[in-house]
Amino acid sequence: MTDYTALAEAAAVMDRLWSFGGWEVTQTHESLRRYLIEETYEVLDAVESGDPDELREELGDLLLQVLFHSRIAEANGQFTVDDVAATLVAKLAARSPHLTNGHTGPLDVAEQEAAWEIAKKAEKARASCLDGIAMAQPALSLADKVIERAMRAGFPADLVPDALRVVRITGTGDTESTLRSEILAFAGSIRAAEKAAHTDGVPHGGLDEDAWRRYWTPMDRPRGGPADEHRGGPADEHRGGSADEHRG
């Protein structure tokens, strides 16, 4: 079994870089956002290429982002990269009972997924079916995720706006912001319906199709496109230059 000593060495290298007091210590979680986004897309490109060497390299660059953000948090007295790993281990153990209940042999995938969702709901106690969605992701993937979550929660498919099901490319450069405005309005309506139902005594996550229809009131889409565009895009470019120039 692999001893993973290189992982500890990578964390130690990050500590050494930090100790020099150079470019690294001037960074913040916000200034690193663009690098995290870029590296994530580069990993996806490597997956698409099918080249294992390229994927290994790009995963290393993504790992650097985890180490970097963790080191910033450590400097702020918040948590360390070891705390990040421990949190992951605890989450996996809580959501995957077969890790600790003595299970051996192949797993039933459907049962595994069901157990994961049950554990996640129990630990999060979310007020909305949309809680936990990364709202800063690109508008198309955000629309897909929001619709998926809503329909999993019993939302009637015929109430999903056509504007979220058909994306029209206008050539004016505003397709992303237009779709984002539509999905944010839809998400706001979802949350408003859930809040109204809960006020009337419906437990969180307890809306059925009839309840959704009863409490559903579509909201106008948000105005002020630039703000919406900022929420969904990478952070402003840092004066230090591109990600490739610095780290990868």
Q: What is the pLDDT along the chain (248 residues), one digit of tens a residue?
A: 688 999 999 999 999 999 999 999 999 999 999 999 999 999 999 999 999 999 999 999 999 999 999 999 999 999 999 999 999 998 888 877 777 666 666 776 777 777 666 666 666 667 899 998 999 889 999 999 999 999 999 999 999 999 999 988 888 888 999 999 999 999 999 999 999 999 999 988 889 999 999 999 987 665 444 334 333 333 333 333 443 444 44
How is residue 160 written in tokens?
């999903």
How is residue 158 written in tokens?
């015929």
Question: Tell me, what's the pLDDT at 104?
Answer: 65
**Rounded to two decimals, what is the model's pTM?**
0.65
